[in-house]
Structure 1
């Protein structure tokens, strides 16, 4: 076999592998959804894009309900207990017991309510919302006020906290992926 034929065969094999990997089935395998009903229900209740909820959960816990961070954030959406207590009061939620952050339904409701709160505060700007979900709205508002960061997606590299900068990039990446793979809307 001549080298040009060999190159053509290799190119054909590579193109076939690419086409095989670039199918909806493979993408859904790479970006699965767990707790879909709970996510869709919370997204409808609080008017939050379900793709954003998915991206936050994937980034925060990888869909693990028992995840606890070094800082003490709990559950699917990695909510700090103090923040959760405030949200439960603000949203008039009624947890069954004091382990409610481990309950996927309650954790998703609390996290989604908080995303809605941040979306309202930042006038629907998803990039600012994601930054505030990670660093806190006080920090993000401070960065915006002092012009350390202008809040735009194009200037994520200006976010003063490295952890928040990487978090925003990761959540936006997953948000884009989930939007391209799954087609469900708020009704």
Structure 2
């Protein structure tokens, strides 16, 4: 029965401040536990394009969204320091190769800033990596960052076994962190968008 004694000793102004703080705390708890709040923090832009590309290539749209979030934070005209362009941060040479192999229309590097072109090419490339790595999702994501030749070399040479449980053994720090960030975001998207 400490609260009644404390309550009695508080001034009306202090009671109002405590009431305000408790109300604010309740609002924060409700917001953080609601799905709309998390969807504000983890949006999916270009939903129709992502869904279409995922369907055509047999991919999970939430994985594409997670990859885009890590690669470009959904900034379509983003260009990396090494020259990767667009939402899925495709290198121009990779995009050229994908265009030739897939038959998808590709008219040059300027088109990589166009969300539709970038997502179509990027999703096709991701599906191709799934084929190259026999569906090993962790190796696919590592290869998207480091290149398939390097990742195959790490696995062949025993430097890494290609599994997420051993991602801390990926020889290149950038790729190691990239894999962890993509899968972190992927799990978040699966929690926030369970019916996607």
Q: Secondary structure at the match of 1:150?
A: coil
Higher relative contact order (CA 8 A, sep 6+): 1
Displacement over 6 Å in runs of 4+: 9-13
Cα displacement string for residues 77-109 of structure 1 (whole angstroms, at most 9, x for unaligned residues):
000000000000000011356521011000000
State the TM-score, normalizing by the size of structure 2.
0.85
Give the one of 27, 32, 53 matched to 1:21: 32
1:115 is matched with which residue? 126
Give the one of 33, 39, 51 matched to 2:44: 33
2:87 is matched with which residue? 76
Q: Secondary structure at the match of 2:144?
A: helix
Partner Cα separation in structure 1 for residue 173 and residue 115 of structure 2: 29
Cα displacement string for residues 50-99 of structure 1 (whole angstroms, at most 9, x for unaligned residues):
01100110000000011000000000000000000000000001135652
Partner Cα separation in structure 1 for residue 170 and residue 82 of structure 2: 21
Q: Does 1:147 align with 2:162?
A: no
Partner Cα separation in structure 2 for residue 181 and residue 119 of structure 1: 25
2:11 is matched with which residue? none
2:10 is matched with which residue? none
Q: Does 1:47 align with 2:46?
A: no
Partner Cα separation in structure 2 for residue 159 and residue 64 of structure 1: 28
In the TM superposition, what are the counterparts of 1:114-133 in structure 2 within 5 Å?
A: 114-133=125-144
The worse-fitting range, judged by mean Cα deviation, of 89-98 and 155-164 is 89-98
Partner Cα separation in structure 2 for residue 179 and residue 11 of structure 1: 32
* Runs of 5+ unmatched residues, structure 2: 8-18
- The offset of 1:184, in angstroms, is 4.7
Q: Secondary structure at the match of 1:99?
A: helix
2:167 is matched with which residue? 156
Cα displacement string for residues 139-184 of structure 1 (whole angstroms, at most 9, x for unaligned residues):
1000000110011111110000000000000000011111111135
Asked if the contact 2:79–2:86 (Cα under 8 Å) also holds between the matched residues in 1, the reply is yes
Count of paired positions: 183
State the TM-score, normalizing by the size of structure 1.
0.89
2:179 is matched with which residue? 168
